[in-house]
């Protein structure tokens, strides 16, 4: 099961990137536990949104992802099918929307990396300097591409494992109370929490992740078929969905822990509107010890860098699929990060050492991702 299923390790990175961490701490600080049900169902829909049951003998319990199923069955990913199935006007709109989602995600990765460097250097590296270093750091993992995508997946799995250990430790320090369980089970959406809920939805279900997942399964050793009807290689699809489900359970646990920690520390105590990625580390340091600032910053840095690579792969697949244009990972990173760094650098220069404006930009990008979502969901459901 382990060897043919590793694409899910890359797919789940989008569920714990800096945008997710921002959405989690904002959700916990401003709404407490009341939006945990949004997190639960967003993660569930991130898995089931692309799925339908294959009602064939022996496979009644299989709930395969349509994105993975599309790639396994046809040998072509979602962007390639959009180019072949839709007229030029429609596919160009879909391409632009996918690129905007990827650029928005890359901005969040730059923000996360710059704030992490600010914390690790204790203010010696200003925000604008962190933004410039983030632009250069995007190339640090590109050399692994020459070794193969499997090596990247191992690195990302180790990062996720580290985050899981950290969150397990935090969860052990904070006893789960009745409010957390009620937040998961009982839907509640105050009017003032609607923007926060939209941001949480956009952070969890990333539009470009659908394109990425359909392409990553090309590493399957199963022979692709000419159509994606009943003759789908069921065993491969089952493996991909088991692996994706296990990975998403881990990310759900991480996100619940982050929301719970900041709900306990900030909700109802005043000043929750000012909480962000930077002063979140200060809170953890004051509560659990100074070493937690370093742990938080390292985790934020790891999330930003790993998300950079998945965004690069998604961008390659999107551009290659929609435009039939082949581009190297280095060139794709240069283009995407070059576009993303401009608005981020302007905000960082205006903010100086205050990361509040970067946090605000991060929140708005999460809302933008929820608006972009239909432009990826509709094609994958239709195809």
Residue-level pLDDT, tens digit, the chain, 383 residues: 333 445 666 677 778 888 888 888 888 888 888 899 999 988 888 777 554 433 333 333 333 356 666 666 667 788 888 888 889 898 899 999 988 888 888 888 888 888 888 888 887 888 888 888 887 776 666 666 666 656 666 766 676 666 666 666 666 666 556 778 788 888 888 888 888 888 888 888 888 888 887 777 665 444 444 444 444 456 666 777 777 778 788 888 888 888 888 888 788 776 666 778 878 888 888 877 788 888 888 888 878 877 777 777 788 888 888 888 777 766 777 777 777 778 778 877 776 666 777 888 888 888 888 888 888 888 877 76
Query: What is the per-residue pLDDT for 221?
Result: 44
Query: What is the per-residue pLDDT for 136?
Result: 76
- Are the CB atoms for 220 and 72 separated by under 8 Å? yes
> What CA–CA distance (Å, rounded) separates 231 from 150?
28
Distances (CA, A) of 337 to 23, 88, 103, 219, 306: 22, 27, 8, 27, 14
Q: Which residue has the tokens 């399957």?
A: 220
Q: Residue 71: name the closest of 246, 243, 210, 245 by CA.
A: 210
Query: What is the per-residue pLDDT for 379?
Result: 82
Query: What is the per-residue pLDDT for 331?
Result: 74
Query: What is the per-residue pLDDT for 3?
Result: 39
Per-residue buried b or exposed e for 59-77, using 16+ beta carbons within 10 Å of the residue's own CB: beebbbbbbbbbbbbbbbb
Question: According to the 3-state scheme, what is the secondary structure of 186-226?
Answer: CCCCCHHHHHHHHHHHHHHCCHHHHHHHHHHHHHCCCCCCC
- Are the CB atoms for 124 and 315 separated by under 8 Å? no
For residue 65, list its beta bridge partners. Answer: 51
> What's the helix, strand, coil split of the chain in %, to 5?
75, 0, 25
The domain made up of 3-382 is a member of CATH 1.10.287.1770 = no
Query: What is the per-residue pLDDT for 212?
Result: 82
> What CA–CA distance (Å, rounded) separates 138 from 117?
14
Any idea of the CA torsion for 89, 93, 95, 100, to the nearest 10 degrees? 160
Degrees to nearest 5, angle at CA 217 with 213 and 222: 160
């Amino acid at each position: 099961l382990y060897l043919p299923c590793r694409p899910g390790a890359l797919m789940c990175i989008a569920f714990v990137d800096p945008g997710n961490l921002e959405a989690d701490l904002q959700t916990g600080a401003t709404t407490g536990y009341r939006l945990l049900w949004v997190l639960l169902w967003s993660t569930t829909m991130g898995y089931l949104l692309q799925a339908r049951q294959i009602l064939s003998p022996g496979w009644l319990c299989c709930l395969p992802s349509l994105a993975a199923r599309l790639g396994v069955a046809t040998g072509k990913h979602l962007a390639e099918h959009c180019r072949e199935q839709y007229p030029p006007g429609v596919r160009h709109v879909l391409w632009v929307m996918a690129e905007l989602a990827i650029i928005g995600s890359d901005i969040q990765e730059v923000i996360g990396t710059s704030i992490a460097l600010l914390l690790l250097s204790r203010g010696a590296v200003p925000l604008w300097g962190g933004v410039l270093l983030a632009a250069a750091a995007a190339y640090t993992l590109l050399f692994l591409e020459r070794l193969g995508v499997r090596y990247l997946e191992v690195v990302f799995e180790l990062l996720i494992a580290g985050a899981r250990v950290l969150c397990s430790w935090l969860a052990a320090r904070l006893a789960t109370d009745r409010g957390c369980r009620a937040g998961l089970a009982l839907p509640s959406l105050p009017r003032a929490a609607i923007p926060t809920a939209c941001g949480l939805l956009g952070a969890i279900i990333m539009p470009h992740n659908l394109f990425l997942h359909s392409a990553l399964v090309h590493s399957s050793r199963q022979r692709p078929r000419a159509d994606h009807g009943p003759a789908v290689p069921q065993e491969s699809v089952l493996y991909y969905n088991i692996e994706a489900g296990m990975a998403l359970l881990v990310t759900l646990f991480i996100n619940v822990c982050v929301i719970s920690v900041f709900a306990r520390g900030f909700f109802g105590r005043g000043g929750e509107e000012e909480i962000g990625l930077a002063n979140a580390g200060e809170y953890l340091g004051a509560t659990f010890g100074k070493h937690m600032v370093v742990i938080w910053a390292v985790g934020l840095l790891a999330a930003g860098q790993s998300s950079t690579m998945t965004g690069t792969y998604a961008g390659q697949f999107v551009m290659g699929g929609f435009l039939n244009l082949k581009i190297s990972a280095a060139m794709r990173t240069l283009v995407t990060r070059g576009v993303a760094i401009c608005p981020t650098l302007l905000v960082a220069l205006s903010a100086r050492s205050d990361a509040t404006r970067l946090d605000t930009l991060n929140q708005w990008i999460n809302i933008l991702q929820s608006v972009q979502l239909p432009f990826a969901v509709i094609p994958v459901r239709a195809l």
